Chains A and B, each alone.
Chain A
Amino acid sequence: MPHNHEWQSRIKAVAREYEAMRQAADRFRQASLADPTILEGNLRQGEIVVASKNLEGTYIIRLFAEFETGARQYWSANWDTDPKTVDLLNGLAARREIPDTQRDNAHLVREYRNALVHEREEKPEVVPIAVARSYLCHFFSFLPPRW
């Protein structure tokens, strides 16, 4: 039977994985500047810079995907509909009496994730991954322990 903490733990694990890759990318970037011969294949220094720059955004997308999968699993176990993500968050907030602050914070992460995926011209507020993890875990904590 799925339980709340399993999903929160998965969200946390993605954030920790980002920390691991952040350190690895930074080390690799520095090392390749000092010794470009460590770059294998056709890899270029500039590509490492771009990958490093986009790393946090990539993990924000994964973080939100983990959150959304868990939220949809709970929703599907209780209601026979397939709402859009914005409605999923609002629907859960209404049904689980999630405070407005937690609901709005989850939407901040969703909007930032959307901007990263769809490259919108209108840039929403940047949400650092540690903050995103905190917001999404907090929202998730209002779901029942098991379903």
Chain B
Amino acid sequence: MSEQTAEKLRYMVSAYEPEEAAGTLIFTFVPKGLQQERGVGGIPKRVPQFIVAVRQAAGVLAFDWSGTLDDPGADREEIEAEIAARMRDRETWIHRVTSLVDQVEQWARELGWSTRRVEKKLEDEWIGKHRVPALLMQEDTCRFLLEPIGRSTPGTDGVVDLYLMPAYDDIASLYYYSNRWNLHYMFPGAKPTATVREAEAMPLSKETLAKVIAELRQHAA
């Protein structure tokens, strides 16, 4: 099931990972269009909520329906299929951005920069709230932050920004497309483009990252 087909679903969906139960996701499905229904005497009917806790172990999803007050009946299969699709996308995104941070951290160390990881909390309509790593880097007095922004934007499958710290000034953006991370500069005064792909871009590598930082330092000097 894709995000596009999911828009046709009959449910509003939310997902979160409780602090006290890391690794378990709580999905809540609320049927659309029932809020206006009224019972006897015009009293609004309680809107049913289907709540399911999901845990992934050894690649298999375990669904726990014990927390739901309402029974989805025949829709249970459809709901579980949608959760499975969302969990796949969630895993893909978290793995993609974590691998990026791992790789950049390694390059930064090889370049002699100091690094420190910080946690970034993200909210995503499709895969729910989640946590991913961000990476602080420092070369002499210059500090940068590689910060994940979002999983999905038109034409790309991931956005990560590079900021000059501590002011959080934009330096560049990384977009995931063509099965790799691409580095896009955002020079002040640059002409806006219709899509991110039209902006000046180069594949992310240790060399291109070092080049951006070197140019930034030169510009700041």
Query: CA A142 – CA B89 in complex, angstroms?
Result: 37
Given A5-B136, A133-B168, does the pair A12, B121 have CB atoms closer than 8 Å?
no
A137 contacts B by Cβ under 8 Å: yes
A141 pairs with B165, CB closer than 8 A: yes
Main SS class of interface, A: helix
Query: CA A145 – CA B165 in complex, angstroms?
Result: 14
B169 contacts A by Cβ under 8 Å: yes
CB neighbours (8 Å) of B166 from chain A are 8, 137-138, 140-141
| Interface residues on chain B, size class | 10 to 19
Q: Which residue of B lies closest to A142 (CB)?
A: B166
CB neighbours (8 Å) of B167 from chain A are 133-135, 137-138
A9 pairs with B169, CB closer than 8 A: no
CB neighbours (8 Å) of B118 from chain A are 3, 5-6, 145
CB distance from A20 to the nearest CB of B (A): 12
* In the complex, per-residue mask of B125-160: 1 if CB is within 8 Å of any chain A CB, else 0: 000000000101000000001010000000000000
Query: CA A135 – CA B165 in complex, angstroms?
Result: 11
A6 pairs with B121, CB closer than 8 A: yes
* In the complex, per-residue mask of A1-14: 1 if CB is within 8 Å of any chain B CB, else 0: 00101101101100
Query: Which residues 88-147 of A sit at the B interface, judged by CB distance below 8 A?
Result: 133-135, 137-138, 140-141, 145
CB distance from B20 to the nearest CB of A (A): 15
Taking Cβ atoms with an 8 Å cutoff, the residues of A that contact B are: 3, 5-6, 8-9, 11-12, 15, 133-135, 137-138, 140-141, 145
Between-chain CB contacts (< 8 Å), 15 pairs: A3-B119, A5-B145, A6-B119, A8-B166, A9-B147, A9-B168, A12-B163, A12-B168, A15-B168, A134-B168, A134-B169, A135-B167, A137-B168, A138-B167, A140-B166
Taking Cβ atoms with an 8 Å cutoff, the residues of B that contact A are: 118-121, 134, 136, 145, 147, 163, 165-169
